[in-house]
Structure formats: C-alpha cells, structure tokens
C-alpha cells in the first residue's frame, strides 16, 4: 500500500471513530425527547421523533416497540402492529412487543397468516441461528471428509460425524428457506390502510377476495405497478393496493 493511501485510510478511521459516539449521543437525545413527548401524551410528536430515528437507520427492537405504542395511542392499529412486528423481527423474544401485539391484534381484529407445518416445527430458532448452525455443520463435515480422504484407515466415528454434520447442514438450510419464505419471512407485510379489500384483479372495481382489517398479515408474492399480489389469511390470494401495506423487514 502506498504511504499516501495509508495516511488517508488512517485519517478516515480516526474520523469515523470520533464520529460514531457523537451520532449515538445525538440519537440517544432524540430517543429521550420522543419518549418525553409520549409521556406528555403528544403522540403525534412522539411518532415523528421515533420516525426520524428509524429513517436514520438507528434501528432497535425497543425503538420499534415504542413507535408501535405511540401509534396505538394515536389510534392507528395498522402501524402499531407493523412496528410491533418489526420489533419482534429484530428480537423475537421481545416480551413487551409480543404482549402488546396480542392486545392490538385483538382490538383491531387483524387477520393472521397461518404458518405451515414446517414453520411451526422450526420456530424454535430463527434464521440467524440456523445460519450459524448450518455454517458450523458444513465446516465440521468438510474437515471430517478431508480427514477421511487422507487417512490410511477410515474411522467409523469420523464417518458418522460427517454424516450427522451433513444432515444438520441440510436441515438448517431447509429451515432457513422455510422461515425466510414462510408466513413470517422476508415477504411479510402488514396492512396499514383502512377498509382495504384484496381483489381478484388489479382494479378498484374488481371482485373482492377478502376484506383486510388494519394490521392484517399478508405475504407479498409479486409487485405490479401500484398493486401487490399477496398470499392472504385463510389460504387466499389476491391483489392489494401497494400503498395499503408495508413490509415488516426494512
């Protein structure tokens, strides 16, 4: 590396190191301000404050949870459920978000997607945990196979370990695919609009498939212009206006 380039990189690293704490300090102040607005029952201002933090990318489960609470207080159940879902997407064991989500769903009568059988059995871990498990299993299997290739005598234990590791890898990859593409996966979106109807075609006067109360879950299958083709609760499918739903995962 040339000395000049090295100096530039070093300067950047130092600037970044100094900048990060200042950015965090700023966002902490903004978060505290939004919390105060919420405590003062200025829910619209609280929503604006939390939204600014969301837009700046300072995402955390607690931020989305608080934003969900503010939307609930403002009477917007669709956005409240969306933000609780986001909090749970970041931290699936977030107890407050889980509790409030149940309350709001009950209030809003929001419809939920039915998880598949595989999803129900695989929900003991999340995609990241399965990713780590699959990586470890793959490397263990690879090491075992290399050892078997070079060994003068094949060890039964090593063969068994490689088979078990490959099986774990296969199950983990299957689980990642199922969870990522399932009812709670990447394509999960929440209906945030009022009086939303899923329709059989991309037209406002097309026949209705299902009425979707705010906060209802849908799974986006494809996009066409201003419409989303989505899997709906009760194993239905239909077209939903794109502006009426927001993806959970940003």
> What is the binding site for another protein (CB under 8 A)?
24, 27-28, 31-32, 35, 38-39, 57-63, 65-66, 69, 72, 86, 89-91, 95-96, 98-100, 102-106, 109, 111, 127-128, 131-132, 135, 139, 142-143, 146-147, 149-150, 176, 180, 186, 197, 200, 207-211, 213, 233-234, 236, 249-250
Least CB distance to another protein at residue 99 (A):
5
| Euclidean distance between CA atoms 104 and 209, whole angstroms | 24
> Which CB atom, from 3 or from 21, has the smaller least distance to another protein?
21
What's the Cα-to-Cα distance from 234 to each of 7, 34, 169, rounded to whole Å?
61, 38, 33
The residue among 123 and 186 lying less far from another protein, judged by its C-beta, is 186
Contact 59, 50 (CB under 8 A): no
User: Helices (H), strands (E): how many in the chain?
Assistant: 8, 7
DSSP assignment of 166-217: HHHHHHHHHHHHHHHHSTTSTTEEEE-SSSEEEESSSSTTSPEEEEE-TT-E
Shortest separation between residue 96's beta carbon and another protein, angstroms? 5
DSSP letter, residue 117: H
| Residue closer to another protein (CB basis): 11 or 23 | 23
CB of 32 to another protein, least distance (A): 7
Token reading at 64: 């989305």
What is the smallest separation between the CB atom of 249 and another protein, expressed in angstroms?
Answer: 4
CB of 242 to another protein, least distance (A): 19
Closer to another protein by Cβ: residue 45 or 91: 91
- Alpha carbon distance 132, 212 (integer Å): 37
The string of DSSP codes covering 12-76 is HHHHHHHHHHHHHHHHHHHHHHHHHHHHTT-HHHHHHHHHHHHHTT---HHHHHHHHHHHHHTT-
- By beta-carbon proximity to another protein, the closer residue of 147 and 164 is 147
**Rounded to the nearest whole angstrom, what is the least distance from the CB of residue 207 to another protein in the complex?**
5
Which residue number, 11 or 48, has a Cβ lying nearer to another protein? 48
């Amino acid at each position: 590396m040339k000395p000049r380039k090295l100096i530039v990189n070093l300067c950047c690293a130092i600037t970044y190191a100094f900048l990060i704490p200042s950015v965090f300090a700023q966002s902490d102040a903004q978060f505290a301000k939004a919390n105060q607005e919420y405590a003062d029952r200025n829910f619209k201002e609280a929503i604006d404050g939390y939204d600014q933090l969301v837009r700046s990318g300072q995402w955390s489960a607690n931020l989305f949870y608080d934003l969900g609470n503010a939307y609930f207080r403002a009477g917007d159940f669709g956005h409240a459920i969306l933000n609780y879902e986001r909090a749970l997407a970041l931290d699936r064991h977030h107890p407050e978000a889980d509790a409030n989500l149940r309350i709001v769903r009950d209030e809003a009568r929001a419809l939920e997607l039915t998880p598949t059988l595989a999803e129900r059995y695989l929900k003991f871990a999340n995609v990241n945990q399965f990713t780590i498990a699959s990586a470890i299993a793959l490397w263990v299997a690879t090491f075992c196979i290399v050892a078997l290739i070079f060994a003068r005598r094949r060890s039964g234990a090593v063969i068994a370990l490689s088979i078990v590791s490959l099986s774990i890898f296969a199950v983990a990859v299957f689980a990642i695919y199922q969870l990522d593409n399932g009812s709670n996966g990447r394509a999960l979106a929440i209906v945030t609009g009022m009086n939303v109807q899923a329709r059989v075609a991309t037209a406002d006067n097309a026949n209705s498939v299902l009425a979707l109360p705010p906060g209802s879950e849908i799974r986006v299958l494809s996009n066409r212009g201003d419409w989303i083709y989505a899997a709906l609760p009760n194993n239905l499918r239909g077209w939903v206006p794109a502006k009426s739903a927001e993806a959970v995962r940003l």
